[in-house]
Homo-oligomer: A and B are copies of this chain.
Amino acid sequence: MDVPADSVGFVSPVKVYFDQMLPLASGASLNDFDLMVETYGELNASRSNAVLVCHALSGHHHVAGYYRDQMKSEGWWENLIGPGRPLDTRKFFVIGVNNIGGCHGSTGPRSINPATKKPWGSEFPVVTVSDWVNAQSLLANRLGIDSFAAVIGGSLGGMQALQWSIEFPERVRNVIAIAAAPKLSAENIGFNEVARQAIMTDPEFHGGHFYEHNAIPQRGLRLSRMLGHLTYLSDDVMGDKFGRDLTDGQNEYQFGFDVEFEVESYLRHQGDKFAGYFDANTYLLMTKALDYFDPAKPFAGDLSAAFRRSKAKFFIAAFSSDWRFSPKRSKEIVRALIANRIDVSYAEIESADGHDSFLMPIAQYHALLRQVFAEIRV
């Protein structure tokens, strides 16, 4: 396989073991835990050039590069990161980490619960954005990183970037939060709830202990992902991509319930693919972390109070066609930062690709990120 010259190239993940207790927001705790990690570039002598990339709902530690001897193995933000790319690995040491509760190697529902010697399943504690940031801070300690040059993420990843500035104001110099929101709306929670109910009412879910039953709630996972995809795209981009086209170039209706429109075929395919590898309990945990994120909650809803101790410089970006976390939601963040006289730049980027835009190599968007990273002193 040929790897582009401006890719970080072939990479390997590392499992990092933490022999220490991780207290969680719920009151529960993990006695010890693993984090799956990838890094790209070199940490400089002053350990000042580290950038943490936080993942969203279905993401993981494999952010950039390729796995040797594996087809289509590029990281989920490969288009952003590499030598000469906007997040330039000649300048920065970039870290990707799979969050606690995930299903890509970090301690999560598939791990063994030391109390029962069986997989945690649905007994795995509910985790929050704050819990993830705490775990990430322990990883930073391990790597000897006092302060990140930047923490960056899109969607749920952007919420982690925001949380860093709230929880560890001295340890992050730049926060880059893209297509995020300061908290979910009722509609947002509603979509998550439909997805959760699809999974939890699947008979193969077995109350979250499907591993022991050699079962997988694939029907529920598939529905969750189909619904997710619908909300990550926009009406316009779906119109452009699929319109009312029928599969196989057909022109006449079939008057049945087999797949018929291209959009049906696309959604079923996405759902099937996802249900083949993603963990149902992780999906539940990730949606719950989204629902719970609300840094203004301890401050009686005053978001500006939440950022009072923040010291980072912020770059906030949103996409015109994103109706899941619309530009309006990003502006709420911007206003709360401005109220604290915090240095913040905001970009509303024209794009038809909806919420998924944050993963796309949109020229204006990447040019802005290139500039943001170029200005960061290390």
Contacts and interface: CB of A to CB of B under 8 A. Distances in A.
Interface of A: 25-28, 122, 125-126, 183-187, 189-191, 193-194, 196-198, 200-203, 219, 222-223, 226-227, 230, 233-235, 238-239, 241-244, 253, 255-257, 261-264, 267-268, 271, 284, 288, 291-292, 294, 323
B189 A263 contact: yes
A193 B244 contact: no
Contact of A203 (B194, B203, B235): B203
Given A201-B223, A223-B223, A230-B194, A186 B244 contact: yes
B288 A257 contact: yes
20 contacts: A25-B255, A27-B255, A125-B255, A184-B244, A186-B239, A186-B241, A186-B242, A186-B243, A186-B244, A186-B261, A187-B234, A189-B261, A193-B263, A193-B268, A198-B198, A198-B223, A202-B219, A244-B294, A253-B292, A323-B323
Given A183-B244, A187-B235, A257-B284, 10 more contacts: A186-B239, A186-B263, A187-B234, A187-B238, A189-B261, A190-B230, A190-B263, A201-B219, A223-B223, A261-B291
Nearest to A193: B264
A124 to B, nearest CB: 11
B222 A255 contact: no
Contacts of A238: 185-187, 190
A267 B122 CA distance: 23
Contacts of A222: 197, 201
Contacts of A223: 194, 197-198, 201, 223
Given A185-B238, A187-B230, A126 B261 contact: no
Contacts of A200: 257
A268 B197 contact: yes
Which 3 A-B pairs give the minimum distances between C-beta atoms?
A: A26-B255, A186-B238, A126-B255
Contacts of A189: 244, 261, 263-264
Nearest to A294: B244
A17 to B, nearest CB: 25
A8 to B, nearest CB: 35
Contacts of A226: 190, 193-194, 197
A189 B196 CA distance: 22
Contacts of A263: 186-187, 189-190, 193
Contact of A185 (B184, B239, B253, B255): B239
A197 B196 CA distance: 16
A42 B27 CA distance: 68
A376 to B, nearest CB: 34
A267 B194 contact: yes
Contacts of A28: 255
